A and B are shown apart, each in its own frame.
Chain A
Amino acid sequence: MNRRMLAIPIAAIGALALALTGCSSGGSSAEGDPNAEFEFWSFTGIGQQESVDRYLEKNPDAKVKLSEVGSTTETATALTAALAGGKVPDLVMIQNDDLPKFVENPGNFIDLRTLGGDDIGDDYLDWAIDAATGEDGSIIGIPTDVGGLSFAYRADLFEAAGLPTDPEEVAEMWSTWDGFIEMGKKYTAATGQPFVDNVETTVFFATVNQVSEKYYSDDGELIFDSNPQVEEAFQVAVDTYEAGISAGIAAWSSGWAPGKANGAFAVTTAPSWILSGLKNDAPDTEGKWRIASIPGVGGNWGGSVIAIPARADNPEAAWQYIDTMLSPEGQTEHFADTGTMPAAKGALESEDVLSYTDPFFGDSAIGKVMSDSVLQFNSFYNGPDTSAIGGALLNALVDMEVGNVLPADAWKTGVDSAKAAIGG
């Protein structure tokens, strides 16, 4: 008896809940209206509000609810939770490292070809569009920006060590990784100081992306442990360490910011988004830093795409934002506003980008160097385990630098922990 009596109120509550949710999804009268309010999830610290303000200037009738969710990882985590069964935003930014696991299930997002036509990807860097393209050919994200990659070096310390200081001469001298290590040895011999901050982010992140196939083959097979290109890229980092020219100061560790200020190392990695941090960490070194192309050919670290979840309430409004703001012209304008490296080919070849310099970096040709690095960047397939494998290999190098792993064992250690990470 009791059980039946309980069942009635429970059924009533259930029906009420159904009615309420039914109401809210069926009751959105703004369906299809490109100026309806849409919810936009972005990262903190990238000044997204400026772009939104610019958009509202162009479309005074539009309404945007911007949420700066958190770091790139936190935003991806929140998006995963939302896609798994919560309220999804209408528009969301996804950082390239987090992208593969979303691309693996393209059904969670609107295929943007349905909104913008089949040639929607043609304006953007091939590798950036490839990264957002699902196995079924659907394009789930439009690239908003790329990281680019260069090296920043201290011209004053180079001069004291008898090395060239002009960015073009430096880039010429370290055009190969062997040349880079040779320069480092000269520098360390002359000054007694380490040349490069660390080998994992500055060397390995650069070398491992100068490949034609990375951890996966083009048809999606895992080949990280047998691909000679990956092992060679890893070996360059080990060689750099064994040459005794690394300070062993991990990026973002407590010694990194002071190291940039006090000359504990002369070279550090410099994707475009790191430059403002370098200025903040070492304001007294103004005019002493230079930006040069990295050894080898091409590079990139970072970048994002923007996507519309399949369950979005107002996809048309979100699409209007993409259409307005992410065209080559829109990205050129955004670069002028914020210095964010565009992902549209037209914008990368624009005068605004190519002529960009900064007195803090001795008026080095930053725009040209960054633009070249991403235009020369190879496209390769990244799968769902790319970041786990990359993390395992990187950690093996960090562990080598603190002395827990012998250089000769580092590759095996990295491969073993990558295998454990992917469960194989």
Chain B
Amino acid sequence: MSVTATAIPIQKRSGHPRPQRRRIRSSLAERIAPYAYVAPFFVIFAIFGLFPLLFTFYVALFDWNPIGEQTFVGFANFERLFADPRFWNAFVNTFGIFLISTIPQLLLALVLAHLLNHARLKWANFFRMSLLVPYITSVAATALVFGQIFDKNFGLLNWILEIFGLPSVNLLASQVGSWVVISAMVMWRWFGYNALLYLAGLQAIPREMYEAASVDGASSWQQFIHLTIPSLRPIIIFTVIMSTIGGLQIFTEPLLVAPETGLTCGAGRQCQTLSLFLYEQGFGQFEFGYGSAIGVALFVIVVVAALINFFLSTRTRGGN
């Protein structure tokens, strides 16, 4: 196979493609086989990925009652969406939680990876493995435990505050407070995963480069800025984009953080994210059309944010 594969361009370049093409056509099975091998993924993706995506765009144009009438309304759902204070509230919440959770998380992961990469670290494998423990813990379990830590009546946090004679706080009642609680959950769950990605990147940097930098008199900070960061750039771009996509779709944590808050994440919707708003409208109120419009808006927001990320991340290369 590899011989044939490399042979084709050579043949093309030399201007004699005909005999080769005829030979391939003669074997139909050989031509179809590669497509057959990749087909299962694409068939399943088409059914469970592409079709729902396109169907969402379609449903968003309707006033769609799943057990009643479906009326075409054009862009009325989107007009309503942009005038809906609940949508903008969810938008602000989503970005608030995203910023509070992602930026410190990635910085922390970078520092941690740097420490774990230290040549003289004992038990290095143990520490590296334990980073994955939060990641393999169920989100639901994480959310319940964090919810209890920050509970206003019997939470661990308020218990500690009480010991020091401080007044108890009800973090979940305020907007910024509930963002902090949810961000803490996201950070706890993901920083180890990102640290491991960075660690893998760090280990691929040859030690000789650091030795050469030391010989040239670079301080360890200068080594970090001018050697480590540029070498890790592809991985940093990857983690930033993945965190953006995940962070903007955050759902389970705000849903489960407190039992009484429900689909609005609090009476004032103080921590309701866009995905949770989508779920509330689509599957709480059964407004499928409006829920789909939120889904389309969320899709556009994620794509735009990922593109901005990508351009910002690649731009830094030019400044080097």
User: Which residues of A does B touch, CB under 8 Å?
Assistant: 77, 80-81, 83-84, 101-102, 104-105, 108, 250-255, 258, 388, 394-399, 402-405, 416-417, 420-421, 423
Identify 11 residue pairs between A and B in the complex whose beta-carbon atoms are under 8 Å apart, listed by A's number: A105-B65, A105-B68, A252-B259, A254-B260, A258-B154, A398-B267, A402-B170, A402-B267, A417-B86, A420-B86, A423-B84
Query: Which of B80, B152, B267 is within 8 Å of A423, CB to CB?
Result: B80
Q: A83-B67, A101-B286, A254-B153 are in contact. Are A396 and B267 (CB under 8 A)?
A: yes
**A359 to B159 CA separation, bound complex (whole angstroms):** 37
Q: Is the CB of A105 within 8 A of B259?
A: no
Q: Is the CB of A395 within 8 A of B264?
A: yes
**A282 to B80 CA separation, bound complex (whole angstroms):** 47
**A395 to B264 CA separation, bound complex (whole angstroms):** 9
Interface centre among B84, B267, B268, B286 (most CB of A within 10 A): B267
CB distance from B254 to the nearest CB of A (A): 16
Q: Is B290 an interface residue when CB atoms closer than 8 A count as contact?
A: yes
CB distance from B5 to the nearest CB of A (A): 23
Given contacts A80-B67, A255-B153, 11 further A-B contacts (CB under 8 A): A81-B66, A83-B66, A108-B67, A251-B260, A253-B258, A254-B260, A395-B267, A402-B173, A404-B173, A420-B85, A423-B84
Residue on B nearest A400 in the bound complex, by CB? B267
Residue on B nearest A396 in the bound complex, by CB? B267
CB distance from B206 to the nearest CB of A (A): 51
Q: Is the CB of A80 within 8 A of B285?
A: no
Q: Is the CB of B153 within 8 A of A395?
A: no
Chain A residue contacts of B258, Cβ below 8 A: 253-254
Q: A80-B286, A420-B84, A420-B85 are in contact. Are A254 and B154 (CB under 8 A)?
A: yes
**A420 to B69 CA separation, bound complex (whole angstroms):** 22
Query: Which of A77, A101, A258, A403 is within 8 Å of B173, CB to CB?
Result: A403
Chain A residue contacts of B260, Cβ below 8 A: 250-254
Query: Which of B65, B67, B153, B268 is within 8 Å of A258, CB to CB?
Result: B153
**A255 to B84 CA separation, bound complex (whole angstroms):** 33
Interface size bucket, B side? Answer: 20 to 34
Chain A residue contacts of B80, Cβ below 8 A: 423
**A219 to B259 CA separation, bound complex (whole angstroms):** 37
**A250 to B153 CA separation, bound complex (whole angstroms):** 12
Q: Is B127 an interface residue when CB atoms closer than 8 A count as contact?
A: no
Q: Is B71 an interface residue when CB atoms closer than 8 A count as contact?
A: no
- Ranked 7 nearest A-B pairs via Cβ: A398-B267, A84-B66, A395-B267, A255-B153, A105-B68, A402-B173, A253-B260
Q: Is the CB of B66 within 8 A of A80?
A: yes
CB distance from B234 to the nearest CB of A (A): 40
Chain B residue contacts of A108, Cβ below 8 A: 67
User: Which residues of B does A touch, CB under 8 Å?
Assistant: 65-69, 80, 84-86, 151-154, 170, 173-174, 258-260, 264, 267-268, 270, 283, 285-286, 290
CB distance from B220 to the nearest CB of A (A): 48
Residue on A nearest B67 in the bound complex, by CB? A83
Q: Is the CB of A253 within 8 A of B259?
A: yes
Interface centre among A83, A101, A102, A423 (most CB of B within 10 A): A423
CB distance from B39 to the nearest CB of A (A): 12
Residue on A nearest B260 in the bound complex, by CB? A253
CB distance from B110 to the nearest CB of A (A): 37
CB distance from B264 to the nearest CB of A (A): 7
Chain A residue contacts of B174, Cβ below 8 A: 404
CB distance from A7 to the nearest CB of B (A): 16
Q: Is the CB of A255 within 8 A of B152?
A: yes
Q: A250-B260, A402-B170 are in contact. Are A423 and B86 (CB under 8 A)?
A: no
Chain A residue contacts of B67, Cβ below 8 A: 80, 83-84, 101-102, 105, 108
Chain B residue contacts of A399, Cβ below 8 A: 267-268
Chain B residue contacts of A395, Cβ below 8 A: 264, 267-268
Q: Is the CB of B68 within 8 A of A104?
A: yes
**A404 to B283 CA separation, bound complex (whole angstroms):** 28
Chain B residue contacts of A83, Cβ below 8 A: 66-67
Interface centre among B67, B170, B285 (most CB of A within 10 A): B67
**A385 to B111 CA separation, bound complex (whole angstroms):** 52
CB distance from B170 to the nearest CB of A (A): 7
Q: A398-B267, A423-B80 are in contact. Are A254 and B65 (CB under 8 A)?
A: no
Chain B residue contacts of A252, Cβ below 8 A: 259-260
**A253 to B80 CA separation, bound complex (whole angstroms):** 33
Chain B residue contacts of A404, Cβ below 8 A: 173-174, 267-268, 270
Q: A81-B66, A254-B152, A405-B268 are in contact. Are A423 and B290 (CB under 8 A)?
A: yes
Residue on A nearest B173 in the bound complex, by CB? A402
**A105 to B258 CA separation, bound complex (whole angstroms):** 34
CB distance from B34 to the nearest CB of A (A): 15
Chain A residue contacts of B86, Cβ below 8 A: 417, 420-421
Chain B residue contacts of A420, Cβ below 8 A: 84-86
**A272 to B151 CA separation, bound complex (whole angstroms):** 29
Q: A105-B67, A417-B86, A420-B84 are in contact. Are A254 and B151 (CB under 8 A)?
A: yes
**A252 to B173 CA separation, bound complex (whole angstroms):** 16
